[in-house]
A and B are shown apart, each in its own frame.
Chain A
């Protein structure tokens, strides 16, 4: 059973602060890790992905992967109210075909 766990939140941060979203996964064979943002009533949109240990930065977003501890996190710097959404963590298993999604963390950025 492949599991991807996320705290459902809501996580509330003030505008301009750093939002930190965490995700743990159970399958050590997981290869790639993705963060999606989903606004209410909309489909997910890809923010970034990573497959190497360490940090990967893209604009205000940083994905941090620690395979030994089996967690991946997403940092959002200078959080904006428009960042308020549910963030889904997804991993690809060792068959390289299926995505396994976490239940998502709801982020509220307060003006």
Chain B
């Protein structure tokens, strides 16, 4: 149980284009999903917290107009990187909270974004 998927697993795009990453909870409903970014040899940095049916809460320093997050259902959250630039190249990982009141969160397999 508690499986989280991400799609695509990797993507290469040209500078200036937009990329959408999907995060799905496969066998449970996730009221809260989290989006992280991880640069090589660094730890995970929380970008935003996504609650179903409401606007995402972004961490300080994360541009909400650049990283659009939509949590349309209890099993799907999307992250769109708009007008991507090479410095946005990173490993993007989502996670989902298993249940309300639970502190556990399970991670998706990640999406490697390369912007050329």
Contact = CB atoms under 8 A, between A and B. Distances in A.
B103 A49 contact: yes
Contacts of A41: 91, 112
Interface residues of B, dominant DSSP: strand
Contact of B43 (A42, A43, A104): A104
Contact of A98 (B49, B91, B104, B109): B49
Residue picked from B32, B42, B44, B49, most chain A C-beta under 10 Å: B44
Contacts of A71: none
B104 A99 contact: no
Residue from B42, B43, B106 whose CB has the most chain A CB atoms within 10 Å: B43
Interface in A16-39: 31-32, 34, 36
Interface residues of B, number: 19
Contacts of B103: 31-32, 34, 49, 51, 92, 96
A43 B49 contact: no
Interface string B81-116: 000000000010100000000011111111010000
A97 B56 CA distance: 13
B46 interface: yes
A103 interface: yes
A97 to B, nearest CB: 6
Given A49-B103, A96-B103, A44 B49 contact: no
Given A46-B104, A49-B103, A92-B103, A99 B34 contact: yes
Interface in A70-108: 88, 92, 96-99, 101-104
A20 B105 CA distance: 24
Contacts of A101: 43-45
A57 interface: no
A36 B105 CA distance: 11
Contact of B106 (A42, A46, A98, A104): A46
Contacts of A103: 42-43
A54 B106 CA distance: 24
